[in-house]
C-alpha cells in the first residue's frame, strides 16, 4: 500500500511512522524546510553577541503517555530520544498589582498554596480537580484513543452505553465559567481556571466544562519541558522516519489531490516514487470507485511531479484542504465557512534581550501568564467583536530560566504571546501589526514588570495570524482549527475520514481529537489504524 502524507507536522509524522511500521510505502511531502510543523525553531546570529535559539511553537508538553505510546508502537524507547523534565511551578500567574501565584506541580502542594493565597477556596478547587480527573477517566478511551465519529454510529454497545452515562453525568452542556463561578470565591482564581478554555482557543463562557480535563492533565499527568527544547521531539520524529524508511520530501508543496485519474495515466505521470510495484497498480484499476483518491500533484522546487497513492493523509487543516487541495465538487463534510467559526490565533514576538534571566528578570518563571485588569473585556473583544484586546492576557516563556544555553552569556530569550481572533474583522496590515507590537511592548514594560525592555532587545521576530495562515496553512490563521465553543463543538470536529472521497484522511489539530502535541500524536494513531483497517477491508 502506498500512502502520501501531506504535511510533516507531528500528527502527519505520527501517522506516517505507524503506517511505515505496518509495512506501507509512505512518502511525506512538506512545504517547509523541516519536519515538525509548528514545532520549529528560530536561531538568529547577532553580530558581536552570539547565537540565540527559540522554540517557535509549543513550549510545554503534557500527557507524556501519549508520546510514549508512539515510541512503544514503534518498538523504541522514548528515553533514547527525549529528555523530559517536569516543571515546577507549572506556571506563574501574574496579577496587575504586581503579585503572583505559582502553581506547584504537586496537587497537594497546590491546594496548600491556594489555601494561603485564596483562603476558603481550597475545598472548591479540590472539587474542581476531582471533576477534572473524572472527565479524564471518562473520555480518554472512548474519545482520545479512537475515531469518535465512527465509534458512535449505529446501535451503541453495552460498554458504549456505560460510557455515555458517565459522560452525561459530567454535564458537558455546562461551561468552564459555570464551574468556576459555582465552586470558587476569589475572582483571581476564577480567572486562572477560566484560562483553560483559552488553551484551546475558545471562550470560557462557551467552551464545555469537559475542558476542565486540562487541569488534571497538568497536575495528574504532569507538565514537562524537553531538555534542548520541544523541537527535539520533531528531531526525534525525523530520525525515526529515516530508520523506518519513510521518504520525507521537504520543500515540496502539495498542489492538488486527484481522484479521477486512471491507474495507467498515473503510472505514466509518476516520476517521483521509485520502484513502482505493479501489484499495487492492479489494485487501482480504472474500475475502482470514481471518488477514490489517485494521487497528489506536487511542486518540488521548480519541478512539478505526481505522487500516486492508495491513501492520502492530509495534515493540513481540513477547512484549508477542502478549499485548496481537495478534488473538485467535493463537499467539506458539513463544515463550511458559514456554519463554523475558527479558534483564536496568536500574536507572537520572539525577543532576544540583554540580561541574564535569573539575575535581571527575577519575577519570571519558565512559564508566565500576565492577567489583565478586566479579563471579560478581552473575551468580549475576541469573541464578541472579533478584534484583538487592548489589554490582553500575555504569555511569556523564558526558556533561559531552565536552559541558559539558548542565549549567549548575559542574554535571554523571551517568547511573548497573546491570543487575538483569527483573520476576519482584523486583517493584520503592516500598520495594524506595528501598532499592536508597540502596545504589547508597552504592556510588557509597565503591567508585566519588565521596564526598559525595548532598550534590551537585540533580535526580534514577529508572527501574526497571517503568518500562521501562510506558513502552515492554518484556516484563517487559527491555531486549533474549528473552535470548540459549545459542548457539541468539543466533540464534533471535521472527521478523520472524508465522507466524499474514498482514501482521503485528515490528521492533526484541525480534526479529531484536537490540538496540542499529545492530541495530534494520538490523532496519528487513530488515522493510521483507520487507513490500515480500510485497506484490509478493501482486499477481502
Return the DSSP state at 422: P
Q: What is the pLDDT of residue 340?
A: 83
Whole-number Å distance between alpha carbons of 304 and 430: 33
Phi, psi dihedral angles at 193 (to 5 degrees): -65, -45
For residue 235, the SS3 value is helix
Neighbours of 33 (CB within 10 A): 8
Average pLDDT of span 250-263: 79
Indicate the length of the chain as a whole number: 540
Average pLDDT, the chain: 89
Whole-number Å distance between alpha carbons of 220 and 140: 14
In sequence order, the 6+-apart residues with CB closer than 8 A to the CB of 502 are 289, 291, 292, 293
Assign residue 251 a region (left: φ > 0; alpha: ψ between -120 and 50; beta: otherwise). Answer: left
For residue 39, pLDDT over 90 is answered with: yes
Q: Which residue has the higher pLDDT, 522 or 501?
A: 522
Q: What is the pLDDT of residues 88-113, one digit of tens each?
A: 999 999 999 999 999 999 999 999 99
Q: What is the pLDDT of residues 131-174, one digit of tens each?
A: 999 999 998 888 888 886 665 555 556 666 566 677 777 888 89
pLDDT grade for 280, boundaries at 50, 70 and 90: very low
Q: pTM of this prediction?
A: 0.91
Q: Which residue has the higher pLDDT, 539 or 379?
A: 379
DSSP per position, 268-328: HH--SSSS--HHHHHTT-TTS-TTB--EEEEEETTEEEEEE-SEEEE-S-HHHHHHHTSPT
Cβ atoms of 38 and 258 within 8 Å: the answer is: no
The least confident of 66-75, 186-195, 327-336 is: 327-336
Q: What is the pLDDT of residue 288?
A: 45
> Is CATH 3.50.50.60 the classification given to domain 2-40+231-339+486-539?
yes
Percent of the chain clearing pLDDT 70 (strictly above) = 89
Residue from 207, 166, 125, 178 nearest 383 by CA: 207
What are the b/e assignments for 386-414, b being 16+ CB within 10 Å? eebbebbbbbbbbbbbbbeebbbeebbbb
For residue 278, pLDDT over 50 is answered with: no
Residue 22 pairs in a beta bridge with: none
Q: What is the pLDDT of residues 404-436, one digit of tens each?
A: 999 999 999 999 999 999 999 999 999 999 999
Average pLDDT of span 508-518: 93
In sequence order, the 6+-apart residues with CB closer than 8 A to the CB of 376 are none
For residue 82, pLDDT over 70 is answered with: yes
Return the DSSP state at 154: S
Cβ atoms of 473 and 316 within 8 Å: the answer is: yes
Average pLDDT of span 205-233: 94
Average pLDDT of span 445-470: 97
Task: Using alpha carbons only, give the angle 395, 403, 437 rounded to the nearest 5 degrees.
Answer: 30
Given the C-alpha cell 465509534, which residue does it identify?
151
Residue from 208, 205, 153, 228 nearest 495 by CA: 153
Average pLDDT of span 49-73: 96
Cβ atoms of 319 and 287 within 8 Å: the answer is: no
Instruction: Identify the burial level of 25 via C-beta atoms within 10 angstroms of its C-beta, where 0-12 means exposed, 13-18 middle and 19 or more buried.
Output: buried
Q: Decide the pairing of beta strands 252-258 and 295-300.
A: antiparallel
pLDDT grade for 267, boundaries at 50, 70 and 90: low
Whole-number Å distance between alpha carbons of 138 and 166: 6
Q: What is the pLDDT of residue 178?
A: 97
pLDDT grade for 300, boundaries at 50, 70 and 90: confident
Average pLDDT of span 165-191: 91
Average pLDDT of span 284-298: 66
Q: What is the pLDDT of residue 246?
A: 98
Q: What is the pLDDT of residue 436?
A: 98
Whole-number Å distance between alpha carbons of 425 and 410: 42
Q: What is the pLDDT of residue 537?
A: 86
Residue 460 pairs in a beta bridge with: 351
Cell matching residue 193: 481556571
Instruction: Identify the burial level of 455 via C-beta atoms within 10 angstroms of its C-beta, where 0-12 means exposed, 13-18 middle and 19 or more buried.
Output: exposed
What element of type H or E holds 504? strand 504-506
Kindly compute the dihedral angle of the four CA atoms of residues 14, 57, 322, 146, in this order, to the nearest 10 degrees.
40
Average pLDDT of span 288-296: 72
For residue 241, pLDDT over 50 is answered with: yes
Average pLDDT of span 52-79: 96
Cβ atoms of 82 and 226 within 8 Å: the answer is: yes
Neighbours of 182 (CB within 10 A): 12
Assign residue 353 a region (left: φ > 0; alpha: ψ between -120 and 50; beta: otherwise). Answer: beta
Residue 292 pairs in a beta bridge with: 502
pLDDT grade for 275, boundaries at 50, 70 and 90: very low
pLDDT grade for 277, boundaries at 50, 70 and 90: very low
Q: Decide the pairing of beta strands 100-103 and 91-94.
A: antiparallel
Residue range(s) in the chain whose domain bears CATH number 3.50.50.60: 2-40+231-339+486-539
Cell matching residue 505: 484522511
Percent of the chain clearing pLDDT 90 (strictly above) = 73
pLDDT grade for 283, boundaries at 50, 70 and 90: very low
For residue 174, the SS3 value is coil
Average pLDDT of span 65-92: 97
Amino acid at each position: 500500500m502506498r500512502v502520501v502524507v501531506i504535511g510533516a507536522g507531528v500528527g502527519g509524522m505520527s501517522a506516517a511512522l505507524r503506517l511505515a511500521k505496518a509495512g506501507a510505502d509512505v512518502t511525506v511531502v512538506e512545504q517547509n524546510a523541516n519536519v515538525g510543523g509548528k514545532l520549529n525553531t528560530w536561531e538568529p546570529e547577532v553580530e558581536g553577541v552570539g547565537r540565540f535559539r527559540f522554540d517557535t511553537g509549543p513550549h510545554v508538553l503534557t500527557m507524556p503517555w501519549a508520546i510514549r505510546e508512539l515510541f512503544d508502537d514503534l518498538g523504541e524507547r522514548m528515553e533514547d530520544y527525549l529528555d523530559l523534565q517536569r516543571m515546577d511551578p507549572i506556571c506563574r500567574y501574574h496579577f496587575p498589582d504586581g503579585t503572583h501565584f505559582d502553581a506547584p506541580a504537586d496537587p497537594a502542594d497546590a491546594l496548600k498554596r491556594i489555601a494561603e493565597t485564596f483562603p476558603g477556596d481550597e475545598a472548591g478547587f479540590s472539587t474542581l480537580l476531582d471533576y477534572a480527573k473524572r472527565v479524564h477517566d471518562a473520555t480518554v478511551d472512548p474519545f482520545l484513543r479512537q475515531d469518535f465519529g465512527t465509534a458512535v454510529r449505529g446501535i451503541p454497545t453495552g460498554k458504549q452505553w456505560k460510557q455515555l452515562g458517565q459522560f452525561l453525568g459530567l454535564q458537558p452542556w455546562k461551561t468552564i465559567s459555570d464551574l468556576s463561578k459555582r465552586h470558587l470565591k476569589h475572582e483571581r482564581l476564577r480567572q486562572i481556571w477560566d484560562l483553560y478554555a483559552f488553551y484551546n482557543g475558545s471562550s470560557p463562557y462557551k467552551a464545555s466544562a469537559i475542558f476542565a480535563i486540562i487541569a488534571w492533565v497538568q497536575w495528574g499527568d504532569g507538565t514537562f519541558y524537553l531538555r534542548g527544547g520541544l523541537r527535539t521531539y520533531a528531531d526525534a520524529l525525523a530520525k525515526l522516519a529515516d530508520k523506518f524508511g519513510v521518504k520525507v520530501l521537504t520543500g515540496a508543496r502539495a498542489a492538488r489531490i486527484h481522484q479521477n485519474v486512471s491507474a495507467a495515466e498515473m503510472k505514466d505521470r509518476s516520476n517521483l516514487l521509485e520502484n513502482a510495484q505493479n501489484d499495487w497498480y492492479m489494485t487501482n484499476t480504472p474500475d475502482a470507485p470514481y471518488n477514490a483518491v489517485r494521487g497528489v500533484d506536487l511542486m518540488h522546487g521548480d519541478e512539478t511531479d505526481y505522487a500516486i497513492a492508495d491513501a492520502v493523509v492530509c495534515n493540513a487543516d481540513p477547512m484549508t484542504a477542502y478549499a485548496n487541495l481537495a478534488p473538485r465538487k467535493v463537499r467539506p463534510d458539513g463544515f463550511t465557512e458559514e456554519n463554523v467559526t475558527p479558534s483564536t490565533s496568536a500574536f507572537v514576538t520572539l525577543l532576544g534581550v540583554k540580561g541574564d534571566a535569573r539575575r535581571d528578570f527575577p519575577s519570571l518563571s519558565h512559564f508566565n501568564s500576565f492577567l489583565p485588569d478586566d479579563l471579560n473585556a478581552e473575551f468580549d473583544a475576541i469573541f464578541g467583536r472579533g478584534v484583538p484586546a487592548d489589554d490582553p492576557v500575555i504569555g511569556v516563556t523564558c526558556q533561559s530560566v531552565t536552559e541558559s544555553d539558548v542565549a549567549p552569556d548575559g542574554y535571554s530569550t523571551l517568547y511573548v504571546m497573546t491570543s487575538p481572533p483569527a483573520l476576519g474583522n482584523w486583517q493584520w496590515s503592516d500598520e495594524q501589526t506595528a501598532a499592536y507590537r508597540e502596545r504589547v511592548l508597552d504592556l510588557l514594560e509597565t503591567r508585566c514588570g519588565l521596564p526598559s525592555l525595548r532598550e534590551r532587545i537585540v533580535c526580534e521576530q514577529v508572527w501574526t495570524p497571517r503568518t500562521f495562515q501562510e506558513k502552515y496553512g492554518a484556516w484563517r490563521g487559527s491555531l486549533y482549527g474549528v473552535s470548540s465553543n459549545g459542548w457539541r463543538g468539543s466533540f464534533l470536529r471535521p472527521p478523520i475520514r472524508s465522507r466524499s472521497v474514498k482514501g482521503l484522511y485528515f490528521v492533526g489539530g484541525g480534526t479529531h481529537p484536537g490540538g496540542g502535541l499529545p492530541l495530534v500524536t494520538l490523532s496519528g494513531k487513530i488515522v493510521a489504524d483507520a487507513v490500515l483497517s480500510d485497506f484490509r477491508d478493501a482486499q477481502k
